[in-house]
Amino acid sequence: MGLGNLYRRRIRVFTMAVVVYLDYKGVQQREKWVSKSKQTALWEKAHERNAKRILKLIIEMEGLWVKLGQYMSTRADVLPAAYINNLKQLQDSLPPRPLEEVYGTIQKELGKSMDELFSDFVNEPLATASIAQVHRATLLNGQEVVVKVQHDGIKTVILEDLKNAKAIVDWIAWAEPQYNFNPMIDEWCKEAPKELDFNLEAENTRTVAKNLGCRNLHDGNSNPNRVDVLIPDVIQATEKILVLEYMDGIRLNDLESLQAYGVNKQKIVEEITRAYAHQIYVDGFFNGDPHPGNFLVSKESPHRPVLLDFGLTKKLSSTIKQALAKMFLSSVEGDHVALLSAFSEMGLKLRLDIPEQAMEVTAIFFRATTPARESIESLKSLEDQRTKNMKVIQEKMNLDKKEMKRFNPVDAFPGDIVIFGRVLNLLRGLSATMGVHIVYMDIMRPFAESVLSGRGPSVNDRWIFDSPVHSGVEAKLRQLLIELANIDKILGIQVCAYKDGEVIIDTAAGVLGKYDPRPVKPDSLFPVFSVTKGITAGMVHWLVDNGKLNLEENVANIWPSFRSSGKEVIKVHHVLNHTSGLHNAMAGTSQENPFLMLDWDECLNQICISVPETEPGKVQMYHYLSFGWLCGGIIEHASGKKFQEILEESIVRPLQIEGELYIGIPPGVESRLAALTVDTDDLSKITATSSRSELPSTFQPQQIAQMATTLPPLFNTLNVRRAIIPAANGHLSARALARYYAALADGGKIPPPHSSSSKPILGSHPHIPKLTSKKAPKKRKCLGRGVATLPAINRSYEKVSSKEESEVTEGRSNIIDSSSSDDVGSSNVESSNPRTHVPGKVYRNPRIIDEFLGTGEYENLTLSNGGFGLGFKRFSSKDGSTIAFGHSGMGGSTGFCDVTNRFSIAVTLNKMSFGGVTGKIVQLVCSELNIPVPDDFLRYAADHTGDANPGRPMIN
């Protein structure tokens, strides 16, 4: 093709674009002068007129533009009917090439005359498409075949058109950066030339047929992911000729014939969708061109889809295949964390933190199809959503209109998913054209799940993270974990234990989630629910230890707005001992609106207006939800600081566990988050459990079972994970939690540095959250009885800029060291506190253990024989004596310490059970160390099934 022809093609394309544009602008002007009843007809005529113009141009230009027209012809969910009706001619009926050209190509490629090849050759083509045309023929041996013959000179045309398209896209990206389609055109330029070699198409056809098992449909294989489709056999192939088995079928766009043969259109399109789900998610090798012209329906009953034309076929790496499966399943589940990690794995990078908008956009890919007649409403809804999302982005980035116009939220777009997106759009258009309703989430889910299944130790020799074994008990523990995983009781887990201040166990195993096959590592972050209460309680004790709080002080003196409805007599120790009488506070409100938990100020307000159900100090009832907000309000009002600041100051920095213990995660740690799922066997057992008198009326087994079902999808969303929920939203590693309890077991003494053999080293994460507040809070005088108010505070983490993060990291050694907890507070606090600081300790009180347990001189602050001390669950031995304290959480995660034996252990897991797995682990470790097993864990059976006694599941 000479330069003259090249320029003429460009001029024709741009001229047509201008003509169509000006035509529609003219219709917009004329619309203002006609009645509403005539406006529809005006637009329909314009659509018909311009559709014919574009069809004429495409037929004249051929090449790449035919492919574009074929794609447009399938989008009945997007384009007006006039375009669909005109452009669908491109699917299989372009003007045929001269027979002389066809014969010449066949004879040149196959090296024989027509008579030497065929006993019969039908001159009229079955179909003529952009690259080739197909003729029916009979071989000399009598076999019926079709012969696909490439158009002469089409290779040059296609390659030149790709250059033209690339030039246009480059210009658009320069002029309108938010419409940068370069990743799409780059992928197209890479893949489209492959269609020009029919040897590749022949191999692709054989591969897909083998993957789908098309010749062995009735061999007794009952695999639910089998697909019932046909693919013709390859007889012979060269670069420009492809000879295939002839299959007599009905074109998908021949709706009248489909009806006449009694074809179930719904079933056909569903089976085609299943075939593509298998190709994409199971095989990682799929046909990238599913327009209606590439399908037939067999005439014989049962009618089955026939898949044709495998020229444009995409091969996916194992990583991309898994990422696409994870993207699909996370969008179905609403799991922001898995979605963002899927983006990261496939190389999709966003310029800003917009998880909710990313979820909405992804869900659009997999939404159920819309019939063509409803397409206008569907498009309007999508456009409204896009406008909303762009507004959110504009506000987040603080951009003006001009800047917003040039802003592209996508930083990097992987070419591997371009063809994937095209396939989904073509399938959507196919459904709209056929007038059927396809629910992608139902059809594709089993195939996507199969990609991420089989991650247990029996098939994964790296199921246990590669870290050194610290002791003989750890070796035995790892064997137990493998046994429990092989019976599907473990998905992902961490176990860490200290004995006499030294790490004796530090094991991570399994995967981060049901739909996240990445391995659990020592620094993975697990949501632990009520385990968080033990940390929040430790923060309250730290304020007491630093003279900013008194256990016998009335909460209303610290928190003035708390003083109402009989709560003025509630003391700090009542809150810690679960005897404030507010055990059901917030239960009704949170059930009506679970997202209320995300609003810190409103939750504190709900606590302030709540009414005690029992006299404070008289009845101990587990404050399953209210405990955190009660403690959180006390912490902020007593300290004059934000909750997260006290967490960092009192626990995280002294223990050197930065980056591995959060209550409400900051941006930047999403890649380390484990996702929750439920052990359905355990769930079925708890529903039959009888009521428990020591639990609040709103936290009985039936309610617990319901919570266990609803909590995983709720707490897998990023907006919930980022909220400060001090009773239930801890995200931490087992090694951070075990270190915390190792310090508590030793009276607050900070253990030696964690094992350096653990990778990454504990506390080595450079991410330090930047906390922001609207204005500096007022300081509250030590132990004063006057009114202290805390100004409104924005309870959220902000993403630290690279410069700020660098400055924070460089200055990290100057922030605080493990022995500087006495730096908190003013000098008058120091002088009013008789305790002297002990270097290397979190707490100064020499009787801090008694304070935690509510024993000794603190015994009068707790109920005798109560299950709780001051903020911690008392764990008793078989003979009834108190031997340990800590806190477990719904789902099985736990952390506790045995003071007598200087022992601490933490278990974090993401497959929520009701204590069976945790009980087995604690039994094994304690037994091996000759330490008494706490009764809470001793009640589990001696076998390795991990089954809990349904009469008393471990839930707190």
Enzyme catalytic residues: 289
In our burial notation (b when 16+ CB lie closer than 10 A, e otherwise), range 172-192 reads: ebeeeeeebbebbbebbbebb
If you compute the radius of gyration of the chain from its CA atoms, what whole number of angstroms results? 34
Contacts of residue 511, defined as CB under 8 A and 6 or more positions apart, other chains included, come to 455, 491, 492, 517, 518, 519, 520
> Is the separation of the CB atoms in 334 and 713 below 8 Å?
yes
Label the pairing between strands 730-732 and 677-678: unpaired
| CA nearest to 671, candidates 336, 324, 340 | 340
Answer whether 326's CB lies under 8 Å from 452's CB.
yes
Bridge pairing between strands 677-678 and 911-912? parallel
Answer whether 97's CB lies under 8 Å from 104's CB: no
Angle between helices 416-434 and 265-277 (to 10 degrees): 170
Q: With contact defined as beta carbons under 8 Å apart, do 425 and 73 qualify?
A: no
**For 850, which DSSP code?**
H
Fill in the amino acid letter for 718. Answer: L
Give the C-alpha separation, 949 to 42, whole Å.
Answer: 74
> How is residue 127 annotated by DSSP?
E
CB count in 10 Å sphere of residue 38: 12
Distance (Å, whole) CA 951 – CA 822:
46
* Selection from 178, 461, 430, 456 nearest residue 307 by Cα: 430
CA distance 144 to 127: 16
Q: How far apart are CA 897 and CA 745, in angstroms?
A: 6
Tokens 């450079």 -> residue: 766
Q: Which amino acid is at 634?
A: I
Closest alpha carbon to 665 in 780, 501, 797: 797
Per-residue b or e along 201-222, where b marks 16 or more CB atoms closer than 10 Å to that residue's CB: bbebbebbbebbbbeeeeeeee
Say which DSSP state 530 is in: T
Residue ranges in 118-216 assigned as alpha helix (H): 154-175, 182-191, 198-212
**CA dist 266 to 305, 430, 433, 439, Å?**
12, 11, 12, 11
Residue 695 and residue 622 in contact, taking contact as beta carbons nearer than 8 Å: yes
Q: Positive or negative CA dihedral for 771, 774, 776, 777? A: negative
Please measure the distance between the N-terminal and C-terminal CA atoms of the chain and give it in whole angstroms.
77
Take residue 704 and report the two structure tokens written for it: 């617990």
Helices 154-175 and 182-191 cross at an angle (nearest 10°) of 170
d(CA 705, CA 709): 7
What gap in Å lies between CA 862 and CA 339, rounded to an integer? 46
